Every structure is written in structure tokens, then in C-alpha cells.
Chains A and B, each alone.
Chain A
Amino acid sequence: MSHTDSLGNFRPKDAPEYEDVLQCMRCGFCLPTCPTYALTGRERSSPRGRVALARAVAEKKLEFTGAVKEEAFFCLDCRACTTACPSGVKAGEVMEVCRSQAHAFYPLGAMGKTFREFILQRMLVSPDLLEHSMLPTRLYQRLGLQWLVRHLGILKLGPDWMAKAEGMLPSLEKPLRPQLPEVVPAQGEKRGRVGFFLGCVMTLLYPQVSRQTVRVLSHQGYEVVTPKATKCCGAPHLSEGDRQTARELALFNLDLFLSQEVDWIVTDCAGCGAALKEYEEILAEDADHHRLALFRAKVRDISEFLAAEGLRTEGMKEVRRSVTYHEPCHLCHAQGISNQPRQLLKAIPGLELREMAESSWCCGSAATWGLKYSEESRQVLDRKLQNVTATKADILVTANPGCQLQLAWGVRQADMPQEVRHLMEILGEAIPD
């Protein structure tokens, strides 16, 4: 059996697995689900094309060229292709791995390094620093983003990205983490002990959402432990191709949560949930398999958790509104959770769920993608907003802070009447005080 060198032109560390790309039989089923293919109609910006590029690099038919790097970052990592692929190919994940390869082949310039060190490796790994930066002034200024924009050609952020970033920020409350008691007791008959994984964006930008999550969990009979030491899940680092820092964060959170003796680890951030569920893969070589499996078995998205455990509905208040539900990519595609949020919405008395077309089509936010490719992001978002408008629902519900930011911004820009809410805000409304 003649083997092609499994790494080919990839750097040995953090390279895609050759078997993963060989699995693609080029049937094209993924093409109609890919937002970047819909934007460009260009084969190399499709999952099938991207896998073919990775395969060509692995087979030494292509160097890891600038175009490969471009595709790795142009991919939204929305994973719609993973859901669509009958052969089990994960083009989005292959591209995520390629992002760290890109850094090996195209080392960051001084400014890019500064960005990486400052934001990814300093701010995002330290909840204290992040929160303090929020207090005196707006997030983007204190994070040094303004400074970076002026100095940073290398990231090729879209021209109007700063205005957009500023426009996206909701009016800020105080971060939630310092306010939240480390242990909130269960109400009524106790059903278990839940470790709550509070995401960075949640505590900073949407404290009211996670406050509801904890309240709902407690109302439903769970003791809620929110470890103050929790660090960023690592998703932003994976997305920027900084797999090393992602691994360090993952190791830290793994130890922290396993030491809490909780029955489950629950989060209300789809992005965090997806990252936590992938610790098993990220840490495959860095942590004990048994502990990884134990951790993985406990992680649940809040909607997945409540739907499986069964919602206690007695005494729930009516919410007389109509809603439509946008599925976050990191919930439906990365975690395969699609029905559960709808189940919860349907359980709320008085609430009417109106399905939108293409509910699982990406909203165009995708971490910093929406800032880097602002024009393209706008087009992806417009398609979403049209589908929302057609439902004439009062409220647009989602379950991920990135989507919420992008959708709320879009709705404001387009002067649409919808409120944009997290699933847990709506559920919280129905839960009596």
C-alpha cells in the first residue's frame, strides 16, 4: 500500500488529517448550504473546493499559498457543510485547523502580533482585565481596537468595521460575573447541581441574559454554581488560529469544572457550548482521556438541557407575543441542537412561534468575520433579515451573543420593528419571580 505522506506540504503541528480530506467524494451536497459559495459562486469558496485545496496541500500538489490562507479565513466556520455532508466531512473544521497553519506560513507582522498578544493572549484569557477594561469606557476603545485599526493593515479589516463595531454595541450594564453569587440555591424540589459556564461576551454585553439563565435554572430546581475563576472558552482563539492559547484555556476550564462536583456543565452561549464540546478533540494529546470524556458527558447547551430534563411549567406566566427563531450555527450545525429551542418556545403559554425560511442559514456574524468582510457580512445578513420580515413576528429570538449583536444591529439599520432577544430572556419572562 503506497501512502502519501500524511502531512505533505503542511507543517506537522496542527495539520488537517489526511483521512478527513480523503473522505470527500465531491458529491456537492454541501454547496447549496455554504454562505460563502452563495456569495461568490466560486468553487474554491465552497466546502468541496476548500477540502480539495487542503487535499492538494496534503498531497504536495500545492504549497500552502496565500489563496489557501485566504479561503481558511474567508470560511465562516458556520459548519452548515458539516450538517449537509452525508460522508461525514467537516470542511469548516479543516479550515479552522488551516488557520493556525496560515500563521506558521505567514507569520504575523509586528502589529498583528501585538493584536494577538494583547487581545487573544492577555485580555481574553483574563476575565478581570476584560471587565476592568469595560468599566471606564467602551469596549472597543479600551481593548485598544481603535489604536489597532489605525495601525493595522495586516488584518485587513473591512473599511467601515469600526463604525460597525461601535454601532453593534448595546448599551452596557455592569459585567455580570462579579455580581453573580458563586452558588445560587435550587428552588422547590432539587433536581441536581449545575455548573454554569458564563461566557465572556455574555457577562460583558448581555448580562441580563445570563441573569435569566441562572434564575430559570434555579427555578427549575437546580443549584447553580458559577465559578468566578472561569476563563474564556477558547473559541475566539481557535477562530483566529491560535490553537496553543486555546488549549491552555481549555485545560484550565477542564480542571476548574471537574473540581466543582457538578452533575452538568451548562452554558447559554452557543459558541462556548460548541467549544466546550470540542475540548475532547483539542486536548486529545494534552489531557487524560477519561477526564475528557467525563467533562464532555456533562456539557449541555441550556436549551438542550432543559428540553431533555423536562420543563416545569406549572405557574408559568403568559407571554402574548409572536416570535421567530434564528438558529445559531454553533447550536444547530456544530452541536446538532435544532428542535430543543423550539420545544422550549412552544412550552411558553401564549407565545406563538412563526417559522422563518432558512432558519439555519448563517447571520453573517461569525466572530470577527463580520468585521473583516463587512460587505459580504451585510449580504448574508440581508438574506436573513428578509426571511425575518416575511414572518411578521414581534420578536426575533436567537441563542448566541454573536448572532444577537449582528441581528440587533441589522434590525436597527433596516428600521425593522422586531426586538431581538435571547431564548433565555423570553423564557425568563415566563418564569414567575
Chain B
Amino acid sequence: MISKTAIKHLKEKLGEKNVLHEKEDLLVLGYDSTPGVHHLPEVVVYPTSTEQVLAAMEIAAREGLPLVPRGSGTGLSGGSVPVRGGMVLTLTRMNRILEIDEENLTATMEPGVITLDLFNAVAAKGLFYPPDPGSQKISTIGGNVAENAGGLRGLKYGVTRDYVMGLKGILPDRSLITTGGKSVKDVAGYGFKDLLVGSEGTLGIITEVTVKLVPPPRDKRTFLAYFNDVRTAGEAVSRIIAARIIPSTMEIMDRVTINCVEDYVNIGLPRQMAALLLIEVDGHPAPVAEEAAEVRRVLEQVKAAEIHVAETAEQAASLAAARRTALSALARVSPTTLLEDATVPRSRLAETFGEIERLAAKFKLKVGTFGHAGDGNLHPTVLCDERNHDEMERAHAFYNELYEKVLDWGGTVSGEHGIGLAKKEYLARQIGAGGVKVMKRIKQSFDPEGILNPGKIFEDQDSGAEQHLEEGFRVSH
């Protein structure tokens, strides 16, 4: 239990309204978007400056409270769920863009800036920040960095890591660090900036982010292609890549997903089609025209059922927006949506679809699949009811077998959502005991006391922190 004095000190340092400990506030900050996990913190703080983050950390350390950084809680692997209770440190009130440097093409900001707000702010200056997770309307930059989030433009432009140039943060030993900066080249010492990216809030709290900006593409062409079966869509993806074309976007939705999205957006997606691909090529006008012609040729070759080209920029934008809602729209169908993040080498895409179909039938599950097809990053999503334990068991078995295959094919258990709580067991399978050992040593050197986000990525038995589970909420996962 957190002491009254600790609460008092927190309020002194952070201000009355930035420290919450009523049951109702704790209840609503014990989850992220990962289904089936909910654990109560003991206190929630909303620092508004680096100094306040530091003060909160000091108090947490003194009280022996686990400390869990949180952005907007859109994470899909349980990263910001306080499994051992303690303090949830929410960074959404540190949301200022500090600088957009047009000479160096960088932007520097606090971690709570909403991804879309950054995108819009730089776009207003004629610049482009490419990473765009489906959750961009509400996810924070800090959360994106901590998860190394990908997005709809990942195929050509890469993921968050490719844009992070510098970070400031506080390590669990309360030291302030700066790593990287505005220099395009920097090889001074170990590159632990790259360690912090994707560290899922276990190595340090990021308090400032500098990202690289690029000039926006001059032109783009958006295709929407429909298919009578999912495997053909997968084949189209492989063939486009094989034709040496790198579209900026190549997103897929299967029939179940198309229907859920259409229920929400009502833009006339054909409900009977087995799959759709959203393909965008961008860049300078001349190559764009050439690539667009090539994409069309491949689509015709594989016999796509229908091929459409977006006529206006708004139309293209609304298609991308519709795709972004896929996961949330799937949640219409059933009380619980269990989503995974299976990623395979692109040449295996068609087979992966086959495998998903086979396993869904085998375990009698309703599965909707969508994802970043161009990256080989699929999100098979089991639509189920967490009150039905038998169904949850089958879902578990489904993912088990699927990941078995994915790993056999040289894929990964997480393309972008991270390991968090949800995939600890699979991580060990992917990287082996040796890999886990090295990772634990890294964690140990950053966080010898084990106070920062314990219980994530891998089991940390040595932390000694008490298990703080809220009974009844956990489902097998």
C-alpha cells in the first residue's frame, strides 16, 4: 500500500490535480487496449515536466513502488498495464511540440504529443513525418518510440525507429540521459538510443524525442483491388514486390474485416469480396506513373476481381482512414477481440493466409484478418467471448500453432505491437534461452532494482516485487 505521506509528497511536487488515487481513477488506468488484462495501480500521476517525472520516480523508488510509464494506453501487448500495481506515470500532459527545425529537418517534442498532431504540425510547414500507426489519432510519440510502432506506410518508409534521431530520458537509477540528437551521423559510443526504441517502457522513461522529417512525396496514386480469395491477394503482394516496386502502402483486409469496417464507415465496400488490398505508390510524378502502371499490370495478371483508382486525395485519405479502424470495427462482432501480430517474410504471405484459414476451421473460431501485407505483418484477430472459457482455450491453441508455423518460416511473433505481457512465452521460443539471458542482462544494467515496468517482456523473478493480480480479470492468454 502506498503511504499517505507518499501521496502528500507527490501532490507537493506534481500539484494536486496531477496525482490521482481514488478507486475510480485507478480502475480506468489499469488497462490498455489489450483484451483480458486489468490490474489496479495504487496511484496515478500526470507529470507536466521532466523534473516532475524525476520527482515521481524518486518517490516511487523510496516507497518501493513499481513504476509503469503510460502514453494513451492504445498498446496491444499490455505494456502499460500495472501488473504489479504501483505507480502509473501517464505522460499525456507533457504534450508540447518544442521545435520544428526547418533547416535540419527535425522536430523535437515532449513524449505525450499525439502522433497525428505531430503529423499535422509538420505538414503545415510542408514537411512529412511518415510513421503512422493505425492508432495515430490518439497514440503518443512516447508510446510509439517505446513500442517502435509501425504503420500503414511502413513498407517504403520504415517504422518509428527509422525516424528517431535523439532521445532524452530518465533511467531507473534517476540519471538523466541524452542520446543522439540532430546530427545526421553519430557513432559516439554504444548506440543505446536504439535500445530505448522498442524497450516497452522497461529501460527508461522517455521525456523528449527528436525525430527526422522528410519532404512529402509530390505525387501519389491509390489503388483499391478486390479479390475472390485471400490467397490471391497474398500472391499479388508477393508479385508486386518481386516486380521491384516498393509501394508506400500495401494493406489487406479480409471479408470479415471488410464487413465490420463497412458497418462503421458506410462507404460502399463490397461485402461479398474475400479480400481487398489498399495499395499506394508515391514519389515524383514520373516514376509514380510508371509504378502505378506496373501495379495495375500485376493486379490484372493475378486476376483481381476489381481494380479501382482513388479519384481524389480525399477519397484516398478516407480509404486509409477506413483501414485504420479495422481492429476497432472488428470489435463490433463479438465481446472480445483477440488480436495477434504474426509477421512472416513476404514470400510466405499467401501460405500464411492458408494457415490462418486452416487453423480457424480446425479450432472452430471466427477469425478476421487484416494487416500490413507489404511488410508481411498480419493481424489475425479471433472474435470471441472472454466469458466462454472453452473458446478462449481454443483461441490460445490457434495462436500456438500459428506461431509455430510463423517461426518455422523465419517470421517473428511481433511485427510492431511488442511483447509486453501478451507474448512473453513466444519470445523465448523465437530468440532462445541465450537471447533472453542477454536481454535480461541489459535490463539488469539499466534497472538493477527492477522498478521500471516489472513483469514485461520476460519473467523477472529476481525483482522481488509482489504479484498484484486482480482476480477474475485475467483470461488465459
- A residues contacting B by CB (< 8 A) are 1-4, 19, 22-29, 31-32, 41-44, 46, 48-49, 52-53, 56, 59, 61-62, 65, 67-68, 71, 85-88
Residues of chain B contacted by A1 (CB below 8 angstroms)? 385, 387-390
How many whole Å from A358's CB to the nearest CB in chain B? 13
B217 CB-CB contact with A under 8 Å: no
User: A85's contact among B114, B138, B328, by CB below 8 Å, is which?
Assistant: B328
Query: Do the beta carbons of B29 and A23 come within 8 Å of each other?
Result: no
| A68: nearest chain-B partner, CB-CB | B24
Question: Contacts A32-B138, A52-B27, A62-B23; is A2 near B73 (CB within 8 Å)?
Answer: no
| B112: nearest chain-A partner, CB-CB | A41
B50 CB-CB contact with A under 8 Å: no
Query: Do the beta carbons of A87 and B329 come within 8 Å of each other?
Result: yes
Residues of chain B contacted by A85 (CB below 8 angstroms)? 328
How many whole Å from B202's CB to the nearest CB in chain A? 22
Distance, CA A22 to CA B28, complexed state (A) = 14
Residues of chain A contacted by B263 (CB below 8 angstroms)? 88
Question: Contacts A23-B331, A29-B137, A29-B328; is A41 near B27 (CB within 8 Å)?
Answer: no
Q: Mark B72-111, 1 if CB is under 8 A from A, else 0.
A: 1110000000000000000011000000000000000000
Query: Do the beta carbons of A42 and B32 come within 8 Å of each other?
Result: no
Query: Do the beta carbons of B33 and A27 come within 8 Å of each other?
Result: yes
Interface SS of A by simple majority: loop
Query: Do the beta carbons of A28 and B28 come within 8 Å of each other?
Result: no
B31 CB-CB contact with A under 8 Å: yes
Residues of chain A contacted by B74 (CB below 8 angstroms)? 27-28
Query: Do the beta carbons of B27 and A53 come within 8 Å of each other?
Result: yes
Q: Which of B317-344 contact A (CB under 8 A)?
A: 325, 327-329, 331-332, 335-337
Q: Which of B26-53 contact A (CB under 8 A)?
A: 27-29, 31-33, 35, 46
How many whole Å from B388's CB to the nearest CB in chain A? 5
| B70: nearest chain-A partner, CB-CB | A43
Interface centre among A23, A43, A48, A88 (most CB of B within 10 A): A43
B264 CB-CB contact with A under 8 Å: yes
How many whole Å from A55's CB to the nearest CB in chain B? 9
Distance, CA A367 to CA B261, complexed state (A) = 33
How many whole Å from A49's CB to the nearest CB in chain B? 4
Question: Contacts A22-B335, A28-B74, A86-B328; is A65 near B32 (CB within 8 Å)?
Answer: no
Query: Do the beta carbons of B20 and A65 come within 8 Å of each other?
Result: no
User: A88's contact among B25, B31, B264, by CB below 8 Å, is which?
Assistant: B264
User: A41's contact among B33, B35, B46, by CB below 8 Å, is which?
Assistant: B46
Interface centre among A1, A32, A86 (most CB of B within 10 A): A86
Interface SS of B by simple majority: loop
Question: Contacts A25-B35, A27-B327, A62-B23; is A43 near B332 (CB within 8 Å)?
Answer: no
How many whole Å from B175's CB to the nearest CB in chain A? 29
Query: Do the beta carbons of B331 and A52 come within 8 Å of each other?
Result: no
Residues of chain B contacted by A4 (CB below 8 angstroms)? 387
Query: Do the beta carbons of B325 and A29 come within 8 Å of each other?
Result: yes
B22 CB-CB contact with A under 8 Å: yes
Closest 4 pairs (CB-CB, A-B): A86-B328, A87-B331, A25-B331, A49-B28
How many whole Å from B263's CB to the nearest CB in chain A? 8
Query: Do the beta carbons of A44 and B28 come within 8 Å of each other?
Result: yes
How many whole Å from A157's CB to the nearest CB in chain B? 23
Residues of chain A contacted by B73 (CB below 8 angstroms)? 26, 28, 43
How many whole Å from A98's CB to the nearest CB in chain B? 13
| B18: nearest chain-A partner, CB-CB | A41
Beyond known contacts A27-B135, A27-B327, A87-B328: 13 more, CB 8 A cutoff: A22-B335, A25-B33, A25-B35, A25-B331, A29-B325, A31-B72, A41-B92, A48-B28, A53-B24, A61-B470, A67-B23, A85-B328, A87-B331
How many whole Å from A286's CB to the nearest CB in chain B? 28
Query: Do the beta carbons of B332 and A88 come within 8 Å of each other?
Result: yes
Can you sample 25 A-B contacts with CB below 8 Å? A1-B387, A2-B389, A23-B331, A23-B335, A25-B33, A25-B337, A27-B33, A27-B138, A28-B139, A29-B137, A29-B328, A32-B137, A42-B20, A43-B73, A44-B25, A46-B28, A52-B27, A52-B31, A53-B28, A61-B470, A61-B472, A86-B325, A86-B331, A87-B332, A88-B332
